[in-house]
Amino acid sequence: MGSLNGIKILDLTRVLAGPYATMVLGDMGAEIIKVEMPERGDDSRFFGPHINGESAYFMSINRNKKSMTLNLKTQEGKEILQELVKKCDVIVENFRPGTMEKLGLGYDEIRKVNPRIIYAASSGFGHSGPYSKRPAYDAVVQAMGGIMSITGHDMPTRVGASIGDITAGLFTTIGILSALYNRNLTGEGQKVDVAMLDCQVAILENAIARYLVSGEIPGPKGNRHPSIVPFENFETSDGEIMIAIGNDNLWKKFCMIAHREELIEDEKYKSNPLRNENYESLKIIMDKIMEEKTTEEWQHIFDEEGIPNSPINSVDKVIENEQVKSREMIVEVDHRVAGKTKIPGIPIKMSKTPGKIEKAAPTLGEHTKEILEKYLTYDEEYINELRNNGVI
């Protein structure tokens, strides 16, 4: 049994931020009822690559869910959703603010149906403020939220993963869990409002701290750390390796194994602030040292001495990494259409209530009949009528 066993979540989300949040909750045992538009479904079902017509992108973030189709533009569809709200603990949506209100399904209406409901909304800019109604995608909030301005080398660069969406998904998950805990104490539901832009600001950590203290606007520094030296990738005799010498003790260790003991007490490099101040001259020294051995040789030496390091792995090497495999971070699932496929595993390891990937992502509307029969006790004749009328 997962830690969220018994929690029922009505999932109206699509694409990435919302589905990522509900995927995490589903991994932890919650029952996820994914509501999609008839015939079309989640937009990400059309994102490639595809396997036998099924999107690998969609499958990677919609495991452990049941899919039902429901047309919320019809009166019957709205009524069905409200009936399902009565049976659920959480409703999650990531429409542009105002969309659910136009449908008559905003938080104020939903809580009338179920006062204990947790209503979680993830959007680009949140449900308040002058930008609230603006559309947003990951690249937009990465640009607006500042993270692009401190990423890359000579020009602003988008982070390779969709960190704007994913951080919003994770913060939405935290908000939902916090609201569920509070409901256990008070019996009351509440609204959880998460903005992608807010999340980008929240994770800027030392960039904001540096600006507020110094007044200097941070810029991109490539792969080096903005305040710890040496903390970046270096070329070896046959490749590259990332090292993270995060304190003065590690610096002393490095100097000893590099046979450069004189650097330990060098007035230019003996402390991290001094190494920052004299970065350019130290970089020349480090480059020469690191070119003396292969990546594998340095990795072995650093591992023996406890100095954090890693070669810069491409995705194929990540998939085959022994630690990744040991922690079951690449798992195989059996999809009813795509067949056996591999997807990322569950990163949260719990000793008593571990998460579990019980089923692959659903096909569109795969569980519509099951949900209507189980939760609303509709008979087959009425379900067929709803289907013929375009409600499901």
Q: Is 248 a catalytic residue?
A: no
Nearest to 198 by CA among 181, 175, 222: 175
Question: Cα separation of 299 and 17, whole Å?
Answer: 36
8 A C-beta contact, residue 326 and residue 336: no
Tell me the CA distances in angstroms from 128 to 101, 108, 354, one per residue in order.
14, 15, 37
Listing from the earlier edge strand, what are the strands of the sheet with 240-244?
Answer: 231-235, 240-244, 309-310
The H or E element that residue 34 is part of is strand 31-36
Looking up tokens 């429409």, which residue turns up?
Answer: 95
List the catalytic residue out of 165, 193, 334, 379: 165
The single-letter code of the amino acid at 21 is: A
* Contact by Cβ (8 Å): 366, 59: no
Which helix (H) or strand (E) segment holds residue 244: the answer is strand 240-244
Separation of alpha carbons 363 and 55, rounded Å: 10
- Report how far Cα 321 is from the mean position of its chain's Cα atoms: 21
Encoded amino acid at 245, one letter = I
Residue 5: its H or E element: none
Count of CB atoms situated within 10 Å of the CB of 351: 5
The two three-digit tokens of residue 60, written as one number: 């990677």
* CB atoms inside a 10 Å sphere around CB 378: 19
The DSSP line for 164-198 is HHHHHHHHHHHHHHHHHHHHHHHS--EEEEEEHHH
Tell me how far apart the terminal alpha carbons of the chain are, to the nearest angstrom.
31
**Phi, psi for 191 (deg, rounded to 5):** -95, 135
Active site residues: 165
